[in-house]
Amino acid sequence: MASVRLIRNSAQPKDPLFAQALARRSAKDVYGPGAVAPATLAQLTAPLVTDGVVAGGSVDPASIAALRQLSWEAWMAEYENAAMRRESIDLMRIGNAEIVANPDGIELGGIGMGLGKMTGLLTRQTLDTPGTTAFQQGIDMFMPIVQSAQGHVWLITPDASRASQIAAGRRWVRMNLQAQALGVAIHPLSQALQEVKALAGPYADIHRRLDATRGAVVQMLGRIGYAPFPAPTPRWPLKTHLVAA
Ligand SMILES: Cc1cc2nc3c(=O)[nH]c(=O)nc-3n(C[C@H](O)[C@H](O)[C@H](O)COP(=O)(O)O)c2cc1C
């Protein structure tokens, strides 16, 4: 729960990133082969407001290959874990009618998904059954997404405190807004960062690889590249989140 007071302060300079607030996207589609220039990466990771958060990234081919591999292994480990898969499936909104009725969760919209639903190929049951077309399509859909990363970015905090988590969230939004300003697509890949037994291997790998030691936490990992920006993610109207005082 948070209590928010909005106070007008004309002495406060306007953050230039604010201009990107409505344009900002999480770009979840396959990225094109265009390389991200090191200078562009540097603009994403340059300290804006740090609050102890260290922003890093790489567009080096060896790093891209290693992190594609690591994030794909983590994605598969999550997908092959029955309890975690179920958790995602329960949050899926399959077809446009479900998305409109519940504008949150993981949206599977568009014509292809609608057809799959109409023909009975795409259901919560088939998605959750290894060996079905729907189960395989999940893999076929996400592999090119994860493997088309043209670079990666990450955020590391020195500890796992609540304050560090909030600082990381604020830093991520700034990175996301900055990416938007630069025309760069950015997409979080959180599977390897989950603190659960099924992901213990990838979690250790990513912390080792990014040199997050002595209690430091990799709070965000994302891929970057170039792709057309998608439509905004469906969301509940603001008023549904507010409680009158
Ligand atoms: C902490 C965090 C972790 C996320 N992890 C993932 C992820 O693993 N895979 C993914 O597709 N999107 C991930 N996202 C992106 C969300 O899906 C996306 O931000 C959300 O749908 C809101 O959409 P928008 O950023 O387009 O407004 C993550 C976002 C946050 C804030």
Ligand 1 pocket test, candidate residues 20, 84, 152, 190, most atoms within 8 A of CB? 190
Residue with the two structure tokens 């469906």:
234
Q: Which atom of ligand 1 is nearest to the CA of 191?
A: 8
Pocket residues: Cβ below 6 A from ligand 1? 25-26, 28, 188-191, 233
pLDDT at 245 over 80: no
Distance from C-alpha of 229 to C-alpha of 57, rounded to nearest angstrom = 21
Distance from C-alpha of 100 to C-alpha of 118, rounded to nearest angstrom = 17
Q: How confident is residue 241, by pLDDT bands cut at 50, 70 and 90?
A: confident
Q: What is the pLDDT of residue 48?
A: 67
Residues 6 or more apart whose Cβ sits within 8 Å of residue 227: 27, 29, 30, 31, 32, 185
Residue with the two structure tokens 């300079």:
13
Q: Up-side HSE of residue 231: CA atoms within 13 Å toward CB?
A: 5
| Distance (Å) from CA 53 to ligand 1 centroid | 19
| Distance (Å) from CA 8 to ligand 1 centroid | 30
Q: State pTM to two decimals.
A: 0.94
Distance from C-alpha of 136 to C-alpha of 10, rounded to nearest angstrom = 55
Angle at 206 between CA 205 and CA 211, to 5 degrees: 100
Distance from C-alpha of 146 to C-alpha of 234, rounded to nearest angstrom = 22
Averaged pLDDT, 199-226 = 97
Residue range 9-66, pLDDT digits in tens: 999 998 999 999 999 999 999 999 999 999 999 999 997 667 899 999 999 999 999 9
Q: Which atom of ligand 1 is nearest to the CA of 172?
A: 31
Ligand 1 pocket test, candidate residues 26, 166, 186, most atoms within 8 A of CB? 26
Which residue type, as a one-letter code, is found at position 1?
M
H or E stretch at 127: helix 124-127
Residue 34 Cα distances to 30, 51, 58, 183, 185, angstroms: 12, 33, 15, 12, 11
Distance from C-alpha of 107 to C-alpha of 103, rounded to nearest angstrom = 8
Distance from C-alpha of 147 to C-alpha of 132, rounded to nearest angstrom = 23
